């Protein structure tokens, strides 16, 4: 079921979302300061490519000072807008019964897009 969900996800926009995240990641990695943020967008892009069957868990240092500082910078720069867009798509997909699994995946991506530092995808 996970494979079928992932294939449907890829066909109906998941591949486009993943490509957008990869382009944004490459643009962020142009500067040395943007490399940590580019790595986090790659993390979200990986989840956007194959969301069914993957989980987002906290890393051992999720409450660390550096992770918290980077998450605050991330939220101020653009993480809030990415997260709100995933929340909007999640609500949009949850209107129908067929779209609920896809809406739940957008909610998972919204949580990661809000605070990506200190999290890993399994």
Instruction: Provide φ and ψ at 26, rounded to 5°.
Output: -65, -40
pLDDT digits over 10-61, tens only?
988 889 899 989 998 999 899 899 999 999 899 899 899 999 999 988 887 6
pLDDT digits over 48-81, tens only?
999 999 998 888 765 678 888 999 999 998 889 9
Domain boundaries, the chain: 2-121
pLDDT of residue 12: 86
Tokens of residue 21, six digits: 């995240």
Give SS3 for 13. helix
């Amino acid at each position: 079921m996970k494979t079928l969900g992932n294939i449907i996800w890829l066909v109906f926009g998941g591949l486009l979302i993943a490509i957008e995240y990869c382009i944004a990641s490459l643009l962020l990695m142009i500067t040395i300061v943007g490399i940590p943020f580019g790595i986090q967008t790659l993390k979200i892009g990986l989840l956007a490519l194959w969301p069914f069957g993957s989980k987002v868990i906290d890393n051992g240092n999720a409450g660390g000072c550096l992770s918290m500082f980077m998450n605050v910078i991330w939220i101020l720069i653009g993480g809030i807008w990415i997260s709100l867009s995933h929340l909007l798509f999640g609500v949009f997909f949850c209107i129908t019964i067929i779209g609920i699994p896809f809406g739940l995946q957008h909610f998972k991506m919204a949580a990661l897009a809000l605070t990506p530092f200190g999290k890993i995808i399994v």
